[in-house]
Structure 1
Amino acid sequence: MKLNFKTFGEGEPLVILHGLMGMLDNWQSLAKEYANHFEVFILDARNHGHSEHSEEFSYEVMMYDLLEFCHEHHLDEINLLGHSMGGKTSMKFAQNFPDFVDKLIVADIAPIAYPVRHHKILQGLRALDFNKIKSRGEVDKILQEYIPEIGVRQFLMKSSYWVEKGKLGLRFNLDAIEKNIEPIGENTTDAIFNGETLFIRGEKSNYVQEESLGLIDEYFPKNKLVTIPNAGHWLHAEQPKLFVEETLKFLQ
């Protein structure tokens, strides 16, 4: 599948993969920071942003989407950074195609299975009737009933767009995401990656807990763990300066 992407800068390649219901735009400001040191590629995953939609949606197919992208752009060795869902895709890619990955950064996700956490978000998104909604303000008002956290609503609202004059829609494929929400939480880690790996987590997030550190050590023996203070799951958005500092320190 052809993935939508943007590129910035020159140098060694750094590929960035966003999280569930996100898009490459979430990473654009950070990509421009990294572009002072690297040729940066930010990608829209399948069923997200401007990439194609498909009923198939799993870490297996996203791993092969990335492999196809590397072949298409003649990228023989990359630095790879993935957040959340993108982090799981990145881990799977590094484990299956280790020769392609120089350094790996996994942001606020671990190689474990997660229970479905998005029931309320999915309910809120399903409550959006775009045949009746005429403004982004109306979208936010409906989502408030299901999602009290303003940061989460703002994140989701970034994927709303004008399909045509007077009609809003969502860039991500809600049907495919809802259908595959349980497999997206699964642990697909199945091999050891011996390359240098940075696990970077938010201090206020509960995605990378102490009990998962043993598995991280088992599958990624050359790992380093960094915790970003005063940050939750969206650590790159909440503490961008610290996030860039720590990741650049590792990459360089």
Structure 2
Amino acid sequence: MSHLHADLVGSGRPRFAFLHGLFGRGRNWTQIASALADAGYPSVLFDLPDHGESSWTTSFSYPRMAETVAGEIDARLGSAARLLLVGHSMGGKVAMLTALAHPHLVQGLVVVDIAPGRSAQVDAFGPLVEAMTSLDLATLGSRAEADERLRVAVPDDAVRLFLLQNLRRKGGWHWQPNLALLGSSLEEIGGWPDTGAAAYPGPVLWLTGERSPYCGPEHEAEMRRLFPGVQRVVVPGAGHWVHADAPAAVIGELLAFAQACEP
């Protein structure tokens, strides 16, 4: 089983656990987690397999990632963890599967801008992976130079900066994520496994971005079948990266959810 790197935000037993999206890492949620910690809710931010400082694997599997997350939660917090589990995009699919398979670990679930179904938008990551892998790291002098070299292939400043957070300089430049595996697994990453699991009985907050194409009317029925306690909140003006586009709104929703989940 993979080892997952984790960052703790706040002091005491974590109330929230966060799972990032494709080419992200746990620290993407630091701003949100810091605000939650200030309100008395510590968090653990996980780097998922093949991302950040976590171990690499040899094949992509959502169910296996969910088992890895459940194992880490159990090992760190015990079998009665009762966490509020938050997942964005790819991490949202992992979070849903974790809750379905291990409901005793998850007191409440927050799914951020993803649905239990096919996410065709993931196909757009293909050219981004190609741009990252084609960057000649051996001749790279600085991160600013990398930014300039990627500008043609990745003209969107926000997307380019998001990708460049994965570039590290330790004994030479290298990408932290397992680009070869992730790039060849986009079909699986955009998919959704047939779980065969019973519905998750706990409370679920489904946070989606008003401008995001990831969650459509076609996803509502399956979401409500697997998560009958779901409440959907559409965040005004936000795209797919809801927590980056509207952090104050996301913090407010998470605090209200945590308070509603208090014993």
* TM-score category, normalised to shorter length: over 0.9
TM-score by length of 2: 0.90
1:249 maps to what in 2? 256
Residue 85 (str. 1) matches residue 90 (str. 2): yes
Q: Which residue of 2 aligns with 1:186?
A: 191
Q: Which of 17, 20, 26 pairs up with 2:19? A: 17
Partner of 2:129: 122
Matched letter for residue 232 of structure 2: L
1:131-189 Cα distance to aligned partner (Å, 9 max, x none): 1121112222232222221111111111111122xx32211110111122211111125
Q: Distance in 2 between matches of 1:161 and 1:244?
A: 30
Shift of 1:12: 5.5
Partner of residue 199, structure 1 = 206
Segment of structure 1 superposing worse, 181-190 or 89-98: 181-190
Does the aligned pair in 1 maintain the 2:109–2:202 contact within 8 Å? yes
Secondary structure of 2:137's aligned partner: coil
Provide the residue aligned with 1:236 in structure 2: 243
Question: Aligned equivalents of 1:197 and 1:188: distance in 2?
Answer: 20
Pairwise mapping of residues 1-252 of structure 1 onto structure 2 (< 5 A)? 1-9=2-10, 10=12, 13-35=15-37, 36-75=39-78, 76=80, 77-115=82-120, 116-164=123-171, 167-188=172-193, 190=195, 191=197, 192-252=199-259
Regions of 4+ moved over 4 Å: none
How many residue pairs match? The answer is: 250
Retained in 2: the 8 A contact 1:124–1:145? no
SS at match of 1:26: helix
| 8 Å Cα contact 1:91-1:189 kept in structure 2 | no
- Deviation per residue, 1:64-122 (Å, 9 max, x gap): 11121112113322110000011000000111111111000000001111222212211
**Runs of 5+ consecutive residues of structure 2 not aligned to the other structure:** none
Range with bigger deviation, 152-161 or 29-38? 29-38
- Structure 1, unaligned runs of 5 or more: none
Deviation (angstroms), 1:43: 0.6
Which residue type is aligned with residue 7 of structure 1? Answer: L
Separation of aligned partners in 2, 1:56 and 1:227: 34
CA shift in 2, pair 1:223/1:210, >3 Å: same
Q: CA RMSD in A?
A: 1.4
**Distance apart, 1:22 and its partner CA:** 0.5
CA distance, structure 2, for counterparts of residue 37 and residue 58 of structure 1:
35
Q: Distance in 2 between matches of 1:37 and 1:86?
A: 24
Q: Letter of the aligned partner of 1:86 in structure 2?
A: G
